[in-house]
Chains A and B, each alone.
Chain A
Amino acid sequence: MTIEVKNIVKKFGTFAALDNVDLKVGNGELLALLGPSGSGKTTLLRIIAGLDWPDSGEVSIDGEDALARGASERQVGFVFQHYALFRHMTVFENVAFGLRVQPRAIRKDEATIRARVKELLDLVQLDWLASRYPSQLSGGQRQRIALARALAIEPRILLLDEPFGALDAKVRKELRQWLRSLHSEIHVTSIFVTHDQEEALEVANRVVVMDKGRIEQIGTPGEVYDSPATAFVHGFIGESIVLPVDVSGGSVRLGGRPLNIAANGAASGASKLFIRRHDMQIGPAGSGALEGAVRHVRSFGPIQRAEVTLSGEGNTVIEIDAPRDRELQAGEIVSLQPRRYRIFAAQD
């Protein structure tokens, strides 16, 4: 099933939660809506589900106008951040709910419903919890039951709102992999909302980065990480060093001093230089574009993280991830040469 969103505008009072959003989701995709809180990602998800209504714009599911139907008629599976399980029903009845409220004409008989619920509980590997109540489950179990319940109605699309947001780190990681393998098994077109970049990059096959009600970039995890389209995306995904620079006629200046790097076609004017922490090459003093004194070094795993005070730049401190082939010492003067970098116009 495909989803198409066109020119969606949604305002809460004077605050524009969604500002002319366009989005196309292909059949069988697992798409992540990634952005900070207040970026409009949950609002967009709720509009697709029919739990919120846009001020203007179009939403179509499989070419069919979705806004002409209410949430209960859209056959959209929705998984809530806080699970929203029916607290007075057993796990079994929670999953069966969507089947039991069907109009009498198409409602299945009790035996079919039971078989279907059993099948879904097997799918989420929690059939042994069927007679428990939601309050007796762990967070991860609740979320899996919420997913089974959403799948019971054979949804045309599956929407997940911060599905792992309320879980602790370890359970999150497990569920991420589990969701990805579940998706490749059932292959229903899915959108999930997250503010966790790692989650988005690891699970989704395409990532939509949002900020302030607008879509900043749509791309594969590799694309949004390696070639961020905007300064926001570069700053939001991955860890970046950001330096204020001036671009004029193809040369880049930092605090009035020319940097030995190409402007790569960046427009003249006040700009920001973005470098990934691990894209900074460390060399002996006097050999690179920047120079600084190592202030502090922490080593863990395969990298050492160095805090470097740049010389002559009002004591700007940057953090660099370097391989551990040569151990750095505090107090050492090093030169820094960006291997890869991007320059974006500064926007204030």
Chain B
Amino acid sequence: MSTESGFVTSATELRAYAPAADLSIASPSSRDSGAQARPRTSPQHLRTEPGPVRFVIIGLAVTFLTVFVVLPLVVVFAQAFSKGVGAYFSALAEPEALSAIWLTLLVAAISVTLNLVFGVMAAWAISKFDFRGKTFLITLIDLPFSVSPVISGLVFVLLFGAQGFLGPWLQAHDIHVLFAVPGIALATIFVTFPFVARALIPLMQEQGTQEEEAAISLGASGLQTFFRVTLPNIKWGLLYGVLLCNARAMGEFGAVSVVSGHIRGETNTMPLLVEILYNEYQFVSSFAIASLLAMLALITLVVKTVLERRLDEGQVPYDH
């Protein structure tokens, strides 16, 4: 959780600093001299620590990463394939597993789509307009990051449960929210809301409103301005937010666990099923599904790296 939000800030900081660095490059001539100076400031000359110190620090970092990140990943796949490839695939083909995979994809699709719309709207409002309560809104957007997912789930139980605030009304109208897809989707939306908005707000604030003003003064309507000017300018940031949002939506455990009701073959998402199977000592099935989530993480990581590169390359070279 904290590492994920850490990713967001670090990437946006990178982008926020880049134009400032460009400002210091005042004229084309000094830009050239900067390029000539580059070989002299090669990494070789930047190394200030003595060799053994470097060796120990790097060694510690690598060991730490191996023990806490690489090893668990390897174990997941080793366990999943411990009874052979056939057992692995038959575990994934179980109706319960298929249902969990389908539910996870469905919930992710719903929550990512809605958060995409909400996130763009929130970021748009915050970065392009001044209004009363703006700071409060920014704080509110971050709320899901600071609340334990279990509490987030409980909030929905209190709202929609049989003894909850809206429970009797829902029962009277035969609408199922809790222990059904709507509840799982709601909890997931709540938990993953900040990703898109957080990725966009600093980007849009940095870009300001001038291009939009220019578009409007050239006769563009609001929609034309959004689709022709604003959206192309934020597309990489938007994809970045969507990617992290999706990863979290598929991997969410706590909030979903509270509202799902664990009905087998119906309301179990992949992370929930992993736990259930593990508790039932079905290690191959459990780790087979876990391996899917691990692969999702790896793919997310690769795409994220590519997107970050695009963000740094694509947005920066517009110095004033």
Q: CB within 8 Å of B: which residues of A?
A: 49-51, 70-78, 80, 82, 84-88, 97-98, 101-102, 134-135, 138, 146, 149-150, 152-153, 166, 168
Contact = CB atoms under 8 A, between A and B. Distances in A.
Given A75-B219, A98-B219, A101-B224, A84 B318 contact: no
Lowest 7 A-B CB distances belong to which pairs? A98-B218, A84-B210, A135-B317, A101-B220, A84-B214, A78-B217, A88-B232
Give the residue among A77, A101, A168 with the most B Cβ atoms within 10 A.
A101
Contacts of B224: 101
Interface of B: 27-28, 210-211, 213-221, 224, 228-229, 232-233, 315, 317-318, 320
B236 to A, nearest CB: 10
Contacts of B218: 72, 97-98, 101, 149-150, 152-153
Contacts of A78: 213-214, 217
Contact of A72 (B28, B210, B219, B317): B219
Nearest to B320: A82
B233 A88 contact: yes
A84 B215 CA distance: 9
B217 A101 contact: no
B213 A97 contact: no
A230 to B, nearest CB: 33
B27 A84 contact: no
Nearest to B232: A88
Contact of A77 (B213, B217, B221, B228): B217
A98 B318 CA distance: 22
A98 to B, nearest CB: 4
Given A70-B216, A86-B229, 13 more contacts: A49-B217, A71-B213, A75-B219, A77-B217, A80-B210, A80-B214, A86-B211, A87-B211, A97-B228, A101-B218, A101-B228, A146-B214, A153-B219
A78 B210 CA distance: 11
B318 A87 contact: yes
Give the residue among B211, B217, B315 with the most A Cβ atoms within 10 A.
B217
A17 to B, nearest CB: 15
A102 B213 CA distance: 16
A76 B217 CA distance: 7
Contacts of A152: 218
A215 to B, nearest CB: 24
Contacts of A50: 217
A82 B320 CA distance: 6
Contacts of A153: 218-219
Contacts of A88: 232-233
B29 to A, nearest CB: 11
Contacts of A72: 216-221
Contact of B233 (A49, A70, A87): A87
A75 B315 CA distance: 30
A84 B218 CA distance: 12
Contact of B210 (A82, A101, A102): A82
A73 B216 CA distance: 9
A347 to B, nearest CB: 34
A227 B318 CA distance: 44
A166 B320 contact: yes
A251 B318 CA distance: 60
Nearest to B218: A98
B235 to A, nearest CB: 9
Contacts of B221: 72, 101
30 contacts: A50-B217, A51-B213, A51-B217, A72-B216, A72-B219, A73-B219, A74-B217, A78-B213, A78-B214, A80-B213, A82-B210, A82-B320, A84-B211, A84-B213, A86-B211, A86-B214, A88-B232, A88-B233, A97-B215, A97-B218, A97-B228, A98-B219, A98-B220, A101-B215, A101-B218, A101-B228, A138-B28, A149-B218, A150-B218, A166-B320
Nearest to B27: A168
A94 B297 CA distance: 40
Contacts of B211: 84-87
A146 B211 CA distance: 11
Nearest to A100: B228
A101 B232 contact: no
Nearest to A159: B217
A103 to B, nearest CB: 9
A251 B182 CA distance: 90
A85 B215 CA distance: 9
B318 A135 contact: yes
Contacts of B216: 51, 70-72
A150 B28 CA distance: 27
A51 B212 CA distance: 10
A75 B220 CA distance: 11
Nearest to A80: B210
A78 B218 CA distance: 8
B168 to A, nearest CB: 48
Contacts of A150: 217-218
Nearest to B315: A87
A51 B216 CA distance: 9
